[in-house]
Structure 1
Amino acid sequence: MQSVELNNGVEMPLVGLGTFKVKGYQVVYQTLDAALGHGYRSFDTASVYGNETDIGTALKELLPKHGLSRGDIFVTSKLAPADHGADARAGCLRSLAAVDCGYLDLYLVHWPGRQGWKSEDPRNPASRRQSWEAMEALYRDGKFRAIGVSNYTAGHLRALLAHCQVRPAVLQVECHPHLVQSELLAFCSESGVHLQAYSSLGTGRLLTEPKVKGLAERLGRTPAQVLLRWAVQQGIGVIPKSTHPERIALNARLFDFHLGDEDMELLSGLHSDTRYCWDPRPVA
């Protein structure tokens, strides 16, 4: 499993396991057990996923089984939109207590706006700044090895870079061949921020895209592997989610094949500026 060095020197695996909608302790345990067995060392959760405690408990049981220790894995969680601003420190501490693994390797602001406020609410920028300052304090205390943001636009990120004392290490956004994010990737590269993709399969819609299927058949790979490889070949991290052991295994096999220039161009040429998840652009 290949890794990327973040802007503070922390190493993060390029491929992690997403856990959105992975609920119930038995399901969490079986999913993480399969993932660890197939070489995953990075796990992505969030306060709003409602599974932080189950993930932390399962990892405590599973690490000895797989001959691993806490330092061998990378755990990411995120600040709930309801905890933006004055409630940020308390929200961060709840995540730390829920996962209960001593520290979190990466902690992200999940959304640029506060829950319950309209997107255009003029209080959002100050709320984001207050959240970031709370996260910076916990980073300095060693509770977070790295901090970053999720669903930020280039404008949100530019504003953060103008005032932060600790630079964001990661920006996690929706990214796939229907939403190539080339300008955002270029801005992140210039700013030393690692771009990590979620919904790399277009919430499943890209799996049946004829050009993706045709390329996968020619290469003897699954459509999911082709889509994930398109990202990691650009240096973009991915966090595919599955609870099926066979798919978990296949989604990790991304480093034993290469997409040619024409293959990459074919996939990037599918760009239609289509978002299948959330659109942060209206958030002030």
Structure 2
Amino acid sequence: MAEQMHFKLLSGDVIPMVGFGTWTVTGSSVTPIIDHALAAGYRLFDTATMYGNEAELGRAFKELLPKHNLERKDIFIATKLYPDDHGENAAKAINESLKLLDCEYIDLYLIHWPGVYGVSPKSPENARLRDISWQKMTEAVKKGLVKNIGVSNYNVKQLKQLLQNDHGIKPVVNQVERHPHCRQKEILELCNKEEICLQAYMPLGGTGNKDLLENAKVKKIADKLGKRPAQVLLRWNLQQNVAVIPKSSSKEHIFNNFDLNFILPDEDMEVLNTFPQTKYDWDPDSIA
């Protein structure tokens, strides 16, 4: 089993630097995929209300943790607020996630998106409602329902706005799209300054997108080091102290994506840092 790396959060808790993403992991595939992930060594599992798989994951953990000689406290479960549930509904949404996951607490609860579905992207109502969401999340921490709170898809402006009015609890994580085609230098610098864990989703470029995995420069580095392109891309983030949450349904890829105990030489990091920039997913710059 590969060595597990951790990031110490502002709360004092530690979060694994390599987690397992569960977007599109649904139905009868959930239990065997989570079984492989636990066997490979993953202990952080990332889901969201939007993914529609919280109940299936809850059932899988109940079945599989004893098989792997683990208890609930040995894994770190992260889930997220649906953009429909901003504002007063956030408290109810947290309770619903707890019920579906069938556990007493959530390790990390994130605002999934700074915007509110049904509200114009440029409306100040977005900022007002996400502020209420954050208040409800801080209350959930005080009640012991959630251990840590953070955000996802926040840009520099939105994160600074939250830090100026955090209702007593700073965000411990900001989960954003990040890979060599989307380096997000400014948000990385801000998170480093504020001791917030920057966590990369789509670290391989996203489902079905082979732009990075089949990139000639990535493949050349991988061949030189005797690694897979995916391992090179994940290691690129880790060497910048950025956590990663790759996802896969293939047992071989699940194990390979966790086996990251090697170093990318400086010259290879520099090559990856010169890639042209493009965003494949949500762009929070559209939200006021």
TM-score over 0.5 for the alignment?
A: yes
Is 1:232 matched with 2:257? no
Q: Corresponding residue for 2:255?
A: 249
Task: Provide the TM-score with structure 2 as the length reference.
Answer: 0.96
Shift of 1:273: 2.6
1:268 to 265, 269, 273: 273
2:197 to 189, 194, 198: 194
SS in 1 for 2:106: coil
The within-5 A match list for 1:213-232 is: 213-232=219-238
The within-5 A match list for 1:1-284 is: 1-24=4-27, 26-164=28-166, 165-203=168-206, 204=209, 205-255=211-261, 257-270=262-275, 272-284=276-288
> Which residue type is aligned with residue 267 of structure 1?
L
> Which residue type is aligned with residue 157 of structure 1?
L
Deviations 1:3-28 (A, max 9, x none): 1111111110000100001110x201
Mind listing any 5+ residue stretches in structure 2 that lack a counterpart? Answer: none
Task: Provide the TM-score with structure 1 as the length reference.
Answer: 0.98
SS in 2 for 1:55: helix
Identify which range, 34-43 or 201-210, moves more after superposition: 201-210
- Aligned CA-pair RMSD: 0.8
SS in 2 for 1:254: coil
Mind listing any 5+ residue stretches in structure 1 that lack a counterpart? Answer: none
Shift of 1:109: 0.2
Shift of 1:260: 0.9
> Which residue type is aligned with residue 110 of structure 1?
H
Deviations 1:168-203 (A, max 9, x none): 000000000001112111110111211000001112
Shift of 1:67: 0.3
Aligned equivalents of 1:94, 1:224: Cα separation in 2: 35
> Which residue type is aligned with residue 34 of structure 2?
L
Deviations 1:59-115 (A, max 9, x none): 010000000001110000000000001211111111111111111100000000111
Aligned equivalents of 1:81, 1:242: Cα separation in 2: 25
Query: Runs of at least 4 residues of structure 1 off by over 6 A?
Result: none
Aligned length: 281
> Which residue type is aligned with residue 263 of structure 1?
D
Aligned equivalents of 1:265, 1:182: Cα separation in 2: 14
Q: Percent identity?
A: 48
Aligned equivalents of 1:46, 1:184: Cα separation in 2: 22
Deviations 1:24-65 (A, max 9, x none): 0x2010110000001111100000000000001100100000
Shift of 1:145: 1.0
> Which residue type is aligned with residue 40 of structure 1?
Y
Shift of 1:140: 1.0
